[in-house]
Amino acid sequence: MTESKAKNISAIPIDGFSNLRITSLWSFLQSVDWSEPWLMGLLAFHVLCLGFTILSCKYYRLQICHFLLMVAMVYSAEYLNELAAMNWRSFSKFQYFDSKGMFISLVYSVPLLLNTVIVVAVWVWRTFSTMTDLKIMQLKRKAARENKKMQLKGNCTKHIELKGSYDVI
């Protein structure tokens, strides 16, 4: 039993840039040296991207381009991870880029995907509000048509009543 427990503990990945065992997402993120300039630049990029996502909510075509660009960036993350794994010494102190792409997924792809979720949520909200406005317009037109019919029907009845009263005199 102790041997199987030891195997399970040894199966926990050890990160290459500190002596901490990675047992959770939080411990992984804590073991990253966030003071590196390229990570600060990446964080600034994500903040700008979020700001652009929020500011482009009123511009549908711009938001489509932004959405497609973010999806293409997420799609290219695997290639970016391979490139960064080969050249990490030129811009980083530690080798963060593993073969499974966990690091690049967490710090690059997940924030971009969260932005795309925001864009899709805005699109769904806009669709629902447009459908609501359309239904309100349809109901107003229907009410106006029925009101017009009632007025025409009422005028015809008055005209017939007046005509009938003339016949009597």
Q: What is the pLDDT of residue 13?
A: 44
Q: What is the pLDDT of residue 159?
A: 55
Q: What is the pLDDT of residue 8?
A: 45
Tally of CB atoms within 10 A around 77: 16
**Domain residues of the chain, as ranges?**
1-31, 35-168
C-alpha dihedral over 87, 92, 96, 99, to 10 degrees? 0
Q: How far apart are CA 96 and CA 73, in angstroms?
A: 19
Q: What is the pLDDT of residue 31?
A: 79
Q: How far apart are CA 49 and CA 115, in angstroms?
A: 8
pLDDT values of the chain reduced to their tens digit, one per residue, 169 residues: 555 544 544 444 444 444 556 667 777 777 788 889 999 999 999 999 999 999 999 999 999 999 999 999 999 999 999 999 998 889 988 888 888 888 899 999 999 999 999 999 999 999 999 999 999 999 999 999 988 888 887 766 555 555 555 544 4
Tally of CB atoms within 10 A around 109: 20
Q: How far apart are CA 112 and CA 5, in angstroms?
A: 38
Contact assessment for residue 93 and residue 33, using Cβ atoms and an 8 Å cutoff = yes
Q: What is the pLDDT of residue 117?
A: 98
Contact assessment for residue 81 and residue 69, using Cβ atoms and an 8 Å cutoff = no
Looking at residue 21, the DSSP 8-state letter turns out to be: B
Helix (H, G, I), strand (E, B) or coil at 26: helix
Tell me the whole-structure pTM to 2 decimals: 0.70
Q: How far is CA 122 from the centre of its chain?
A: 8
